[in-house]
Chain A
Amino acid sequence: MSQSLPSSADFSKTPVTVLTGYLGAGKTTLLNRILTENHGKKYAVIINEFGEIGIDNELVVDADEEVFEMNNGCICCTVRGDLIRIIEGLFKRKDRFDAIVVETTGLADPGPVAQTFFVDDDVSRRARLDSIVTVVDARHLPARLKDSREAEEQIAFADVIVLNKTDLVSPAELAEVERRIRSVNRFAQIHHATRCDVALDKVLDRGAFDLNRILDLEPDFLKNNPAHGEAGHVHDDHCGHDHHHHDHGHDHGHHHNPAHGEAGHVHDEHCGHDHGDSIHDTTVKSVSLKLDTPVDSRKFDAWISELLATQGQDILRSKGILDFKGSDKRFVFQAVHMIKDGDFQRDWRSDEDRFSRLVFIGRELDRDALQKGFEGCRA
């Protein structure tokens, strides 16, 4: 069952920033800045009791990270029961606050936190998810990605990534870390920082879940991937050589590739050995699709609904811009797992190319099947 994201444009609701990242990455430094810097706003901060304490403020609340499954037929639908209670409790206060920051432990999956803001009516009536911010340690991220599914998910879910402790790595190492982040998440904004010295307005009140702001925040989203070998290039499925070995454990049904070691073999994701690319250990990747001719809105709706209903567990986030036949407006789409939202945005300008682009971030993404499905939506 796929659900709809509530209307994200209601800015009378209190914005909520979710702050994730591994222990030691620098979350507490950032939290302390949010609580103490003179930005004229009052933040309620929900921290987990096992986290890096050391901050005190009347609006700091302990949480227990109680993740509950919803028995609503949505298999990936989990919510944070403690967050629901705490947010309701915070709104009983006489002294109101301007925004909420939810800190999660390094081991927490950001999915349930995000879904809480869409699934629970009492929470979504008052609060809107503003963005998911992930703080990563430039030096330790490669090791984290090797041994931790959570570290990878925190990057996959992020709208904003604070790449911290950049002073502890060489420029080459930094470029490599950034490349690996990009291989997991193509659309997050990355800010370099030392001691989390990122400007707070780059982190707070971003409106990343507001459909009207998605494209303004991510201008790169509209661009094609720079060519292989050029600066900014992301090694994705388009670039004609294969970086990943994914043990999918299922058969794609195309056996045209000669056996490994035989003439003509292509080192693809099926052949099960490491091609020397250091990102072999990540299981989450981004798949980006593009169509240059208009899309039929009904076909797209049917396809994306079915796709998210059946594979939404593995598709962590998705975003898109669509050129629907018969409309002069850009259609903007996004989803967290199975929960989706879409709306018409501004008119296409006469000086811009009209096209449709979709990005999926997730596990077990079958690029060929996604491409085929998307092409089936052509008008």
Chain B
Amino acid sequence: MSTAQTAAPGAQIGFRAYLWQFKSGVVAVASAESAGHAGFGLGDGSIALRPFDNPEAETTRRLIAHPDATLLCLAAAPDGEGFVSGGDDGRLMLTTVSGEGQELATVPRKWIEQLAVSEGGIVYGAGKRVGLLNARGEPVATFDDHPSTVTGLAFNPKGKRFAVSHYGGVSLWWCKAETQPAKRLNWKSSHLTVTWSPDGKFVMTATQENEMHGWRLSDSADMRMSGYPNKPRSLSWSKDGRWLATSGAEVVVVWDCKGKGPMGTAPMELNRGAVVTAVAFHPRLGMVASGDVNGLIKLGRVNDETSIDMEQLGRSPVTALTWSRDGRYLIAGGEDGSAGILDFGE
């Protein structure tokens, strides 16, 4: 446990850091805002809870979401009262912070590695199949027409469509339509994750070839953004959809997506240091948090392109990073089980 006061160049950023260590690696983190808890999805199949109003709590409550299995993905439930998680036991679980567990789906002998949640629904990926559930977790439809295993899922801003990444591109589906062909965005590559811009204009993926690929939805124009030494797997948008922060380089590469898109423009570079493994844009302000391969958390600001070191989380790569929706707390986890909450105050 440690606390810290750090001054940023040109502006004071005060925060308190609460750090601790789990025995299992942190796979994913999420904020169950309505229930007032941060959740840390762990390799032992559990979700560890920390209340935002008392992060120093001596004991960590554990929700055993995937007994004897590995948790592979985690998100806050649509109502913010708990968590949705997928595991290598082929189960999709809804677990409230009070500890009530409900199996939403089960896919024998498959891993549930992909998950996206909107206010109106949940999608999960298992092999080539995507399942859609409503906000209460009841099954709505399945979507099987994908050429390979599903590698990423993202809802559009209104939650009415979702994007599925796979080999060869992205498939876009409508949540409501009974029968429909997918709209395909094709690009010959292995696409590893997908994100949809908050203004709805762009769908972007990271690829096996250490590149970003994107499509402008108005005309399906391709955008290709290269130069990464590693896969840019962690992607995060600014609230207005102008900036896209990406991992995979020794800086946070931030693409300016105003107008026609970022292709051909030089990106902004923030938080220079070791290779960045996780990024999270602040939900309201022009700030990007990042975690690197050595466990260091940094914060960079878009308007003056300054960066500061925030906290040494652990000694291994930061695997998970997210802000609470109100932007007060930064939740972080590492491959070695290091974990923390940074409280930026009111």
Contacts and interface: CB of A to CB of B under 8 A. Distances in A.
Contacts of B113: 85, 89
B42 interface: yes
A209 B167 CA distance: 30
A94 B110 contact: no
Interface stretch (B22-30, B174-182, B262-270, B278-286): B22-30
A47 to B, nearest CB: 11
Contacts of B24: 94
A71 B127 contact: no
B23 A94 contact: yes
B183 interface: no
Contacts of B306: none
Contacts of A86: 111
A81 B150 CA distance: 11
A62 B110 CA distance: 7
Contacts of B25: 92, 94
B112 to A, nearest CB: 11
A93 B27 CA distance: 10
A68 B190 contact: yes
B311 interface: no
Interface residues of B, number: 29
A277 interface: no
B191 to A, nearest CB: 10
B148 interface: yes
A71 B208 CA distance: 9
A93 B109 contact: no
Contacts of A71: 188-189, 209
A82 B127 CA distance: 10
B186 to A, nearest CB: 13
Contacts of A200: none
A256 to B, nearest CB: 46
A92 B43 contact: yes
A58 B209 CA distance: 32
B70 A68 contact: no
Interface string B106-121: 0001110100000000
A79 interface: yes
A64 interface: yes
Contacts of B149: 64, 66, 81-82, 85
A69 B189 CA distance: 7
Contacts of B33: none
A55 interface: no
Nearest to A86: B111
Main secondary structure of the interface of A (DSSP, over half): mixed
B250 interface: no
Most buried by B among A49, A79, A85: A85
A222 interface: no
Interface in B167-222: 167, 188-190, 208-209
A169 interface: no
B72 A121 contact: no
B88 interface: yes
A66 B148 CA distance: 7
Interface in B241-295: none
Nearest to B26: A92
B47 to A, nearest CB: 14
Contacts of B338: none
Contact of B72 (A49, A84, A89): A89
A122 interface: yes
A89 B111 contact: yes
A92 B190 contact: no
B231 to A, nearest CB: 7
B309 interface: no
Interface string A330-365: 000000000000000000000000000000000000
A65 to B, nearest CB: 11
Interface string B8-37: 000000000000000111010000000000
A195 B68 CA distance: 34
Contacts of A68: 148, 167, 190, 208
B234 interface: no
A121 B68 CA distance: 29
A120 B190 CA distance: 12
Nearest to A53: B109
Given A62-B110, A89-B88, A81 B148 contact: yes
A176 B231 CA distance: 49
Contact of B42 (A70, A82, A85, A94): A94
A12 interface: no
A93 B337 CA distance: 12
A66 B70 contact: no
A84 B191 CA distance: 13
B21 to A, nearest CB: 14
Contacts of B148: 64, 66, 68, 81
Contact of A64 (B45, B127, B231): B127
Interface string A86-121: 100100111000000000000000000000000011
A235 B42 CA distance: 57
B190 A81 contact: yes
A92 B231 contact: no
A72 interface: yes
Contacts of A122: 231
A81 B167 contact: yes
Nearest to B233: A122
| 10 closest residue pairs by CB, A with B | A94-B44, A94-B24, A68-B190, A92-B43, A94-B43, A93-B70, A81-B190, A66-B148, A92-B27, A71-B209
Interface of A: 49, 58, 61-62, 64, 66, 68-72, 79, 81-82, 84-86, 89, 92-94, 120-122
5 contacts: A62-B109, A68-B190, A72-B209, A79-B190, A81-B148
Given A66-B149, A81-B149, A92-B72, 20 more contacts: A49-B109, A62-B109, A64-B148, A66-B148, A66-B167, A68-B208, A71-B188, A71-B209, A72-B209, A79-B190, A81-B190, A81-B208, A85-B149, A92-B25, A92-B43, A93-B88, A94-B44, A94-B45, A120-B208, A122-B231
